[in-house]
Every structure is written in structure tokens, then in C-alpha cells.
Structure 1
Amino acid sequence: MIHPALVRKQRLSFVILVILILLTTIIAMGWGYSSVSYDRILPTLLGHGTFKEEFVLLSIRLPRIVITLLAGMALALSGSILQGITRNDLADPGVMGINSGAGVGVAVFFLFFPIEAGSFVYVLPLVAFVSALLTAGLIYLFSYKRTTGLQPVRLVLVGIGFAMALSGAMIVLISSAEREKVDFIAKWLAGNIWGTDWPFIWAILPWLVILIPFTLFKANRLNLLGFSEPVAIGVGLSLERERVVLLLTAVALAASAVSVTGGISFIGLMAPHIAKALVGPRNQLFIPIALLIGGWLLLVADTLGRNLVEPNGIPAGIMVALIGAPYFLYLLMRR
């Protein structure tokens, strides 16, 4: 039984975050190198704008805003799941090497497997998922002991080791590549939102439409995984099966996000923490809030980053890292 006061707090937080996202979206639509007057945004969205206004809003800014929101939500949900199955507040798809695994797969695919531009958008999330899945499988394998099973702390530490090793592998890959391809991968590594067209939205959206309801369905099991292993087994939970299923879900969410946004870390670390601070640790309550916080944080980071420095701006991944790295150190010292 969830206390009614917590439910009211969650609903209030949800409404406030939706308002913040709408306000940030309006600011992002009007603010940029080719500015659009704010009183022209609504007429343009309704089809009464000039060619320039419609091109800037509908072909450039709006798809980027939607992609950023969706990717932030995916990373936040992935981080929430990883923190739940590892019982470790420092777990994050970027910190644990899942993003790096997806990045190596994307780099290999981009460098050595040329494909038509029309198919590239839809194949890339699948490539990222397979690569991230292989990485997660190796992390799981190295973390598992037959005598003690899967140790959550060991899972995080092995993931951090894989993240470092894969970063080195990425450097080796791009050291002998063509300059144009190196530029793309370098931007990807920095977390530059590169998938900024409508097809990228249709590429990432199905993953979220399926996996968000699935994770909410599994919320009770995530709650049980947060207890000690004897308690979870005592209520009839199949620990290893649930961990594997939820780990696959976290991998799919992170891979779908980074395939179109690049290597962005710390969203999956910060969003669940802020959500838990607002509404408590129950997954049914904090996951919807974490989704909105993740989308809003990445949208704010991208909006500020692309407008603070002309003409190319600062990649969203760097803006997020400027906030997330100190927050990570704070959590590390507190733990």
C-alpha cells in the first residue's frame, strides 16, 4: 500500500516536470543561430509560417528536441534498472561500460560496413544493441561466480574496467581511419546529438514504447531485488532470471539512446537519484519521475551547449559531464 501523500507528491512532481519540459522546449525552439520569434512559434506549428520558419522549426529544431527528450528518458530508465539490479547507487550505463560497448560496435560498423543512408538510421540501433549486449554478457560472465552467484558490487567494478578497456579500443580503431569518419566518431564520443532528423525518432521510439511499460510492469520485482538476496528468494523471486531480463532491458534502452545521441554518461546516474529524493525509492513512484528528469536534463544540456558557443556549440555529452562528474564524486564520497 503506497501512502496517499507520496502519490500526491509524485503527481505534483510529474506536473511540475511536464511544465519545465514544455517551457524548455519553447525556449529551445526559439533560441539558436537562426532565431525564430516566440510569437511566431505557434502559427508556424499550425502551418502558417514562412518557409524559413517552417524549415528551422520543423526540419531542424523540433526533431532534435524530440530525439533529445526520448534519449534522455531511455538513459534515465536504463540507469534506474541498473541501480535496482546491482543495489548500487553509482551504477549507470556509461559508467558500467554499456555505452562504450555500443560505441565500439557503432564505430566498427561505421568504419568497415558501408550501408545505404536510408537503412543506416534503422540498422544503427540494432548494431548498438548487439554490441552493448555482447559487452553486458562479458561483464556478467566475469562478475558471476558459481559459488556465490552474481555479486552486484563486482558487476559495477567489472563494468568500469570494461569501460576503460573499450575506450582504449576505440582510440585504436580511429587511429587509422579516414579523417571524415574520425570526425564523426569523435563527435559521437563527445556526446554530440547527431541524429537530428525525423527518421531517427522512428528508429528509437519503438524501443521506448515497448520497454517503458515492460519496466513499469517489472517494478515490483525491481523493488524485491533491492532487498537482500535471502529475502528476495524467500518471496519466490527467481533472482538470476529477473536480473538477466532486466539487464537486457537496460542494455536495449542505453543502446537505442546512444546510437543517435553519442556517448552520453551521467544522465542514468543523476535522474534516478533526483527522482528518489523527490518521491522515495519505490520503483512504481520514481521511475515515471526519473523518465521526465532524464529527458529534461538532456534537453537543457543540449539547448545550452549548442547556443553558448558559436557556431558549433558544446556537445551535450560534455555539458552533462560538467554536471554529472561532480555529482558522481559526491555520491562516491557519501558512500
Structure 2
Amino acid sequence: MIQKTHAQKWLFFFSLFFILILITAFLGLGLGNSTVPFSRIIPVLFGDGAFKENLSIWELRLPRIFITVLSGMALALSGSILQSITRNDLADPGIIGINSGAGVAVAIFFLYFPIDVGSFAYLLPVAAFIGAVLTAALIYLFSFRRSEGLNPVRLVLVGVGFSMALSGLMIVLISSTDREKVDFISRWIAGNIWGTDWPFLWAILPWLVILIPYTLYKATRLNLLGLSEPVSIGVGLPVQRERILLLLTSVALAAAAVSVSGGIAFIGLMAPHIAKSLVGPRNQMFIPIAVLLGGLLLLIADIIGSNVVADKVVPAGIVVSLIGVPYFAYLLLKK
């Protein structure tokens, strides 16, 4: 009876957040500088729209909504993995420096490599992944001690230090380039959803199609990694190998997200926490909820930022931070 109740509770929240994403996306299609009446959205989606309506929905808003939702999902899943493998509820790819490493790689690629329009959207996640992997490897090496394994507190402190150092490196990079490119990097740092064309959707989608099922397949091992090191080793789990594989998965998800959404933090922190409070700490249960929550949170933040000030866009990263910083402080004091 308890298992059936848990399953019903999980299905309720999964359905609720999925429906909320659809409702929020519908609202996002109608809002903006060029308002489309809500009564016209369904006809336009089915091909019965004027030129201006088709332009607003099909070319501007729909790809942005898809990309925003997928980016939020990727960040939430990345944070869920990090929190399990490090046994640290404060772990988040934005807070511990992985996003910053991806951002520095994106900046170097954008500033110093020849850009081909046809392949730019697809190479950005690869460049971000390389930067994020190098950063994660350094954070891991500085946090790991042979005598005690991976220390969760040290991981956060080292990660925050790397994040600050990489932010300084980003400033050095943008201080030596022209104004147009500085504007792009500045928007990226602020967490402005900038990859809003269909090619960017096709660039990020395969990463989630592959890595979401892979993470769910590894959910049982994530549960074991969330226990103490002796327990994980005692049940025969190859701890270091699984931790590295899942860390690479988390890094890939964060890199894919930030390559099109900019430096957005706290989604990977908040979504897993809220999901765990709703359906419990088992990865099989909370990860699907966290993924939907991440997409919903970032979509809401982007819609608020795009419409709260007339003729101006407040980056979604700033809107998320207004909620995420107090939430992080609350968790820090609680732990």
C-alpha cells in the first residue's frame, strides 16, 4: 500500500509539472513585444497564421521556449548527479565552477577561433564540454584525499575558488577584445538565453536524449554513491569508476546547457532539493521530477525577464539568482 501511495504521489507531481510547463509555454508564446492573442496561438501552431504571427511564434518564441526548457532540464539533472556523487546538498554546476569552466572555453572559442555559421551551434557544446571537463578534473583532484576519499565540504570550497578564479580569467579575456564580442560575452555571463534559433535546439537535444536515460539507468548506483564510502565499497560498487563516469555525465549536461543559455546557476541546486522534498531521496523517484522542475523554473524566469520591463530583457540568470541566492544561504545555514 505504501509503495502504491508513493507511485501515485510521484505520478501526480510528474503530471502536474508537465502540465505547468505546457501552460507556461503557452503563455510565453503569447507574451512579448509583439503580442499574439492567445486565441490565435493554436491556429498558428497548426499552420493557419499570418506572416507576423508565424514569425513571432515559429521563428522567435517557440525555439527559445524549447531551448530554455531543455537547458533547465539539463542543469537540474546535472545538479542531481553532483549532489548524489559528492553527498553534498550544496553541489551545483554553477556554484562549484563547472559552468565557469564551460564559459571560459566558450569565450575562447568565440573570440579566437574562426566561426563557421553552419557548424557554430554544434561546436559550442563541444567547446563548453572540454572546458567543463578540465575544470571538473582540477576540482576533483584538489578535493580528493587518498585517506578519506572525496570530501564534500572541500569540494564546494575548491569549486567556489575555481569559479572566482575563472570569472577573473573571463574579465581578462573580454578586456582585450572588441566591443561587439564583449557584449556577447557579457550577456552570456549574465545568463541571457541567447541560442534561440532552431539549430541550437538540435545541438542540445541529443545530449539530453542520450544522458537522461543513461542517468536513470545508473540511478541505483547513484543511490549507493549517496551512502558512505565504506558502504558503497562493501556492496561491491567500483566507486571511483562510477563516480568519474557520472561526473562526466553531469559535466556534459551542464556544458550543453550553458553553451546556449549562458552562465545560469542555482537551477541545479533548487530543482533537486524541491523534488526530494516532494517524492523522497531515491534517485529513481526524484530525478524525473527534478528534470521537469528545472525546465519549468528556467522557463518561468525567462518569461518574467522578457516581460517585466518594457522593451528590455532582464537575463534569466539574474531572475533565477534573485531566488537562488537566498535559497542557497538558507541551505548553507541549515547544513
Please give the range of the TM-score, normalised by the shorter of the 2 chains.
over 0.9
Paired with 2:11 and 2:146, the residues of 1 have a C-alpha distance of 44
* Corresponding residue number in structure 2 for 1:41: 41
* Structure-2 separation of matches of 1:277 and 1:79: 15
Tell me by how many angstroms 1:126 deviates. Answer: 0.1
RMSD of Structure 2 on Structure 1 (CA)? 1.1
Match of 2:177, as an amino acid? A
- Counterpart AA for 1:67: I
Match in the other structure for 2:157 = 157
Name the aligned partner's letter for residue 63 of structure 2: P
Distance 2:164 2:3 in 1: 43
CA separation of 1:2 and 1:91: change in aligned 2, threshold 3 A: farther
Shift of 1:291: 0.4
Structure 1: where are the runs of 5+ without partners? Answer: none
Q: Is the 8 A contact 2:90 2:328 kept in 1?
A: yes
Work out the CA distance in 1 between the residues paired with 2:194 and 2:286: 30
The amino acid across from 1:293 in the alignment is L
Q: In the aligned structure 2, how far is the partner of 1:276 from the partner of 1:2?
A: 17
1:26 aligned residue: 26
Q: How far apart, in 2, do the equivalents of 1:161 and 1:241 lie? A: 26
Q: CA deviation at 1:114?
A: 2.1
Equivalences for 1:1-335 in 2 at 5 Å?
3-335=3-335
1:2 Cα offset (Å):
7.7
- What percent of counterpart residues are identical? 68
- Structure 1 distance, partners of 2:121, 2:231, is 44
User: Any conservation in 2 of the 1:301–1:316 contact (CA below 8 Å)?
Assistant: yes
Matched residue SS, 2:314: coil
For residue 107 of structure 1, what is the amino acid of its counterpart? A
Deviations, residues 262-283 of structure 1 (Å, cap 9, x unaligned): 0000000000000001100000
Whether the 8 Å CA contact 1:86–1:156 is kept in 2: the answer is no
The aligned amino acid for 2:118 is G
CA gap of 1:2–1:111, structure 2 versus 1, over 3 A, is: farther
The one-letter code sitting in structure 1 at the alignment partner of 2:318 is I
Q: What is the alpha-carbon distance in structure 2 between the residues aligned to residue 7 and residue 33 of structure 1?
A: 43
Q: Describe the superposition over 1:186-243 as per-residue Cα deviations: whole angstroms up to 9, x where unpaired.
A: 0000000000010000000000000000000000011011111111111111111111
Q: Contact (CA 8 Å) 2:86, 2:150: kept in 1 or not? A: no
Do 2:195 and 2:261's aligned partners in 1 also have CA atoms closer than 8 Å? yes
Cα distance in 2 between the residues matched to 1:22 and 1:257: 20
Letter of the 2:173 counterpart: L
CA distance in 2, matches of 1:2, 1:209: 32
Partners of 1:86 and 1:153 within 8 A in 2? no
TM-score, normalised with respect to structure 2: 0.98
> Residues 2, 178 of structure 1: CA spacing in aligned structure 2 closer, same or farther, 3 A cutoff?
farther
CA distance in 2, matches of 1:263, 1:311: 23
Contact 1:193–1:316 (8 Å) recurs in 2: yes
Report the more deviating stretch, 215-224 or 140-149: 140-149
Tell me the secondary structure at the aligned position of residue 3 of structure 1.
helix
Cα shift readout 1:79-98 (whole Å, capped 9, x = no counterpart): 00000011111000000100
